[in-house]
Amino acid sequence: MSVPTRRTVAWICFAVAMVDGYDTLMLSFIAPLISREWALSAAGFGQLFAVSYAGAALGATATGFAADRWGRKTLLLVALTISGVFTLACAGATNVSQLMLWRAISGFGLGGAIPAISALTAVHAREGQRSAAVSRMFLGYPIGALAGGAATAAAMTYAGWRGIFMGAGFITCCLIPVVVLGLVESPREARRFAGGAHPRHPLSELIADHRAGGTVMLCIASFMVLLVTYFLVSWTPTVLTLNGVSPPTAALSGVVLNCGGLFGAWLLSWIMGRRRALLIVAGCLLVGSLLIGMLGQGVVAADGAGFLMVFGVGLFVIGAQLNLPAISVKFFPESVCATGVGLSMSCGRVGSIAGPLIGGYLVSAEVGWNRLFLLAAIPALLAGAALWALSLSGVSSKARALRAPGRVDPDAASADTGQD
């Protein structure tokens, strides 16, 4: 594969990740406008968020499986078309039920794009750099969230929430011809899809060759780390306010959190090809869990120390979260890469729904802030433990596959040499 083609694929997939990140954050910015027009309660808007994430979870699983059966580029085009068309349809919604339906379907589309771009980036990357390439590609997600959030904040006063949906749908649709003209399947994968060679069902491959335990650990890690991430995004501004930070300043904590995650993901991308990468990511989650616990213990001051603490949480926790697709690429065989990424992302999306809901329940139960953030540290700790267990499961399963009679597994060889 030529370097220009490899770079073209990486940049196009990066752009798709940016659109997904923007789409995820966009709804939180325009929520007040929709609520004002339709007198929508907070609970009602929570349902709108929930159906979006639920659609994305279903899309990640279904499209990941289909992409490994019929082609990653083909399913990426399907996902972008569904997302673009139904995001435009959201702009014309006449009631809440209709908006929820269109939003769920558009979420299905963009959720399905992530497994496809992860697999495409991996198969076009240089040997030994696949996980690192996926990590760097996925940096587009937080960059899109930050840049798109800023653009939405600037435009929504005169464009309205319908105009924001129209703009997002238009941008998504513009990616379709770019994918058609700029993306290609790798020669080996193109021959496999054209010939219909599927020695095993993609879902059965996830548990074949002693991968069952590792697959479970990866799903647990994805669920836990997304749960705590979305909990933090929802409740960190509140705890900073209670510790003396003014509400407008505390509102910036979400930006600081994502900036820390972006920097952390970039740093971790340089170690993803190393032999001990999973242990390092697990260690990051352990440190992050300690910082989360400290947030509620009166350590946060009303000056820059609070934002430094929040930045550190983003650095270690969200930085680790943004490397989960690369970890999936590292663990699963290339032939079922999209299925594996899709499954882990689906579990993560479920966690993203559960996090704010659990936080809301605990706040309603008047759990003290000290205990609240100590409880929030537990999922990060469990995610780190799951990744530690995954590192043992992944290396041992690939080593056993390598030793199997008559079988040469390049993934196993890379696990033993420290490359992916």
Domain of 383, CATH number, reads 1.20.1250.20
Highest average pLDDT, of 126-130, 283-287, 323-327, 391-395, comes from 283-287
Do residues 181 and 222 share a domain?
A: no
Hey, how many other C-beta atoms are within 10 angstroms of the C-beta on 56? 31
93 and 169 together in one domain: yes
User: How far from 390 is each of 72, 275, 331, 396, 398, CA to CA, in Å?
Assistant: 26, 13, 9, 10, 12
Taking 50 as the threshold, does the pLDDT of residue 396 lie above it? no
Mean pLDDT on 214-237: 85
Report the C-alpha gap between 338 and 203 in whole angstroms: 11
Where residue 2 falls among pLDDT bands split at 50, 70, 90?
low
Q: In terms of domains, do 157 and 227 share one?
A: no
Q: Is the pTM of this model over 0.85?
A: no
> Per-residue pLDDT tens for 17-43?
999 888 877 877 787 788 788 877 766
Sequence-ordered alpha helix ranges (H) in 125-211: 130-137, 140-182, 187-195, 202-205
Q: Which of 196, 223, 241 is the last residue of a domain?
A: 196
Q: Residue 39: give the domain boundaries.
A: 3-196
Residue 286 CA, distance from chain mean position: 20
Q: What pLDDT score does 268 carry?
A: 87
What sections of 323-368 are H helices per DSSP? 324-331, 337-364
Give the model's pLDDT for residue 385.
94
> Do 27 and 96 fall within a single domain?
yes
pLDDT at 408: 40
Could you tell me if 19 and 156 lie in one domain?
yes
Overall domain count for the chain: 2
Residues 76 and 102 placed together within one structural domain of the fold: yes
- Same domain for 166 and 236, yes or no, is no
**Same domain membership, residue 236 and residue 182:** no
What gap in Å lies between CA 324 and CA 135, rounded to an integer? Answer: 8
Mean per-residue pLDDT of the chain? 79
Q: Does one domain contain both 121 and 142?
A: yes
Mark whether 125 and 273 lie in a shared domain: no
Burial of 158 (0-12, 13-18, 19+ CB in 10 A): exposed
pLDDT digits (tens, 9 = 90+) for 150-196: 787 778 778 888 999 999 999 999 999 999 988 887 666 656 555 55
- Decide if pLDDT at 127 tops 50: yes
Instruction: Judge if 262 and 375 occupy the same domain.
Output: yes
Q: Do residue 299 and residue 410 come from a single domain?
A: yes
Pick the last residue of a domain from 172, 196, 220.
196
Report pLDDT for 197. 52
pLDDT tens-digit readout, 207-222: 666 778 888 899 999 9
User: How far apart are the C-alpha atoms of 254 and 20, rounded to whole Å?
Assistant: 18
Last residue of a domain, one of 196, 226, 245: 196
